Amino acid sequence: MASYIIRRFAIFVASLFLASVAVFWVLAVLPGDPATRILGTQATPENVERLRHELGIDRPLTTQYADWVWGTVTGDLGTSYVTQDEITPQIRQRLKVTLPLAIAAMFLATAVAIPVGVYAASNHRQAGDTAVSILSQLGISIPAFWAGLLLTTYVAVKWGILPAGGFPGWGDSVVDSLRSLVLPAVSLALVQGAILTRYVRSAVLAVMREDYIRTARAKGLTRRSALWRHGLRNAAIPVITILGLQLAALIAGTVVIENVFVLPGLGRMLVQAIDRRDLLLVQSTTLVITAVILVVNLLVDLAYNVVDPRLRTR
């Protein structure tokens, strides 16, 4: 088990390294010259050269990369070429919106998906199951931002129950901040919940067919007890895996939802950065997001290996 942890962690580090190289390469090699972009095409070559030197982009690529990575490790993600603001505090600020949103959505989705999925599996081939199948099929087919738009139109605008957008800030009003996260989280959770429900249902159905459930019933457990006491722990294994993988999708989702609801999160910052061609900001923010996803994958892997005893003895 210990050797597995070490190996897995090594893979994590290697993956992070690879990802950072990829992000750096895409943004260093492909686009045009940031200095020209900032100064405009009329700028004199000397000014361009001077700005390039100031920004540090006249150095060899490997040096730039090394500097950037070193800065990341020490907490300094650079300074934006465009706005001259430091990037790290911006990211930190925005994370305070994006992370709670993602967690809330995940929580909502899971809280709905598990009972509904189990219910559907228990009522297999009956009306309840069919209804869940149809609803979840719809849920995975609608774009989350469309759900967000519709929710905004009705719940926020027409009925005025919840805010249509904006975010007051945790410092200003915790309650209002929470309120502005409700509709975005629900929009995300609708889609994620539908996906999760389908997987929970499949996992439970698969488990229900297993021989050890029959053994449990032969011991004298009712169908329901057999499922609860024996089935769920086994069904949890694939469900945990999916939860972890869903997080990447969820983060992608927050990028869009933040734009629907005008939330000052990472996603919104990223999209605005593209307009301004703020490459370093995009670079560092992308790395941060990827790192979060890789960390979650790592944690889920470790959890998964702990939950399933068949994997523990390695």
Partner 1 sequence: MEPVLRVRDLGVLVGPVPAVSGVSFDIAASRRVGLIGESGSGKTLTALSIMGLLPEGLSAVGQVVHDGRELLELSEEEICEIRGDRITMVFQEPMTALNPVMRIGDQVAEVLRIHRDVSRSEAKLRAMELLRQVRLRDPEARMRAYPHQLSGGQRQRVVIALALACDPALIIADEPTTALDVTVQAQILVLLRDLVEDHGSSLLLITHDLAVVASVCEDVLVMYGGRIIESGPTRDVFDSPNHPYTDGLLAAVPEIEAGIERRSRLATIAGSVPGLGQFPTGCVFRNRCDRATEACLTEPTLLPEPSIESGLSDVDPPRRVACFHPLDSEIPS
Partner 2 sequence: MTITDSFDLTEPEEAPAVDSGGERRRVGANLIVGAAIVLTIVATALLSFLWTPFDPTRVEVPDRLKGMGWEGHLLGTDQVGHDILSQLMVGARNTLFVGILAVGIALVVGVPLGGLAAARRGWVEESVMRLSDVIYAFPAILLAILLSAARGPGISSAMIAIGVAYIPIVARVTRGASLAVFQTDYIRAAYSYGRGRTYVFVRHVLPNISSVLIVQATVLFALAILAEAALSYLGLGVQPPAPSWGGSLVAAQTFFRIKASLAFFPGLAIAISVVGFNLLGDGIRDFLDPKLAEKT
Q: 40 is in the binding site of which of partner 2, partner 1, none (Cβ under 5 to 8 A by kind)? A: none
Say how many residues touch partner 1, by CB under 8 A.
Answer: 25
For residue 2, what is the DSSP state? Answer: H
What is the rounded distance in angstroms from the CA atom of residue 81 to the CA atom of residue 79? Answer: 6
Q: 145 is in the binding site of which of partner 1, partner 2, none (Cβ under 5 to 8 A by kind)? A: partner 2
Measure the CA angle with vertex 262, ends 259 and 267; round to 5°: 45
Contacts of 46 (CB under 8 A, 6+ apart): none
Q: Interface with partner 1 by CB under 8 A: which range of 54-62, 187-195, 231-239, 280-288?
A: 231-239
Give yes or no for residue 91 binding partner 2 (CB under 8 A).
no
Q: Which has the closest alpha carbon to 10: 307, 301, 306? A: 301
Name the token pair of 163: 């805010």
What is the rounded distance in angstroms from the CA atom of residue 115 to the CA atom of residue 225? Answer: 15
Among 97, 109, 216, 270, binds partner 2 (CB under 8 A): 270
Q: Which has the closest alpha carbon to 167: 152, 155, 182? A: 182
- x/- mask, partner 1, residues 125-164, rule CB under 8 A, reads x---------------------------------------
CB burial readout 12-32, b (16+ within 10 A) else e: beebbeebbeebbeeeeeeee
Q: Which has the closest alpha carbon to 287: 36, 75, 119? A: 75
What is the rounded distance in angstroms from the CA atom of residue 107 to the CA atom of residue 193? Answer: 9
- x/- mask, partner 1, residues 162-201, rule CB under 8 A, reads ----------------------------------------
Nearer Cβ to partner 2 (128/178): 128
Give yes or no for residue 217 binding partner 1 (CB under 8 A).
yes
Helix H or strand E segment including 258: helix 232-260
| Cα–Cα separations (whole angstroms), residue 299 to 26, 97, 168, 257, 303 | 28, 22, 32, 26, 6
Q: How far is the CB of 103 from partner 2 (least distance, A)?
A: 17
For residue 14, what is the DSSP state? Answer: H
- Maximum CA pair distance of the chain? 87
- x/- mask, partner 1, residues 86-125, rule CB under 8 A, reads --------------------------------------xx
Nearer Cβ to partner 1 (156/235): 235
What is the rounded distance in angstroms from the CA atom of residue 141 to the CA atom of residue 175? Answer: 32
Nearer Cβ to partner 2 (149/178): 149
Q: Interface with partner 1 by CB under 8 A: which range of 29-37, 155-163, 209-217, 267-275?
A: 209-217
What is the rounded distance in angstroms from the CA atom of residue 306 to the CA atom of residue 312? Answer: 6
Q: Interface with partner 2 by CB under 8 A: which range of 90-98, 178-186, 202-210, 216-224?
A: 202-210
Give the footprint of partner 2 on this chain (CB under 8 A).
8, 11, 14-15, 18-19, 22-23, 26-27, 29-31, 124, 137-138, 140-146, 149-150, 152-154, 157-158, 198-199, 202, 205-206, 209, 238, 241-242, 244-245, 248-249, 251-252, 255-256, 259-260, 270-271, 273-274, 277, 279, 282, 286, 289-290, 293-294, 297, 300-301, 304-305, 311
Give the footprint of partner 1 on this chain (CB under 8 A).
124-125, 210-212, 214-223, 229-230, 233-234, 237, 307-310, 313
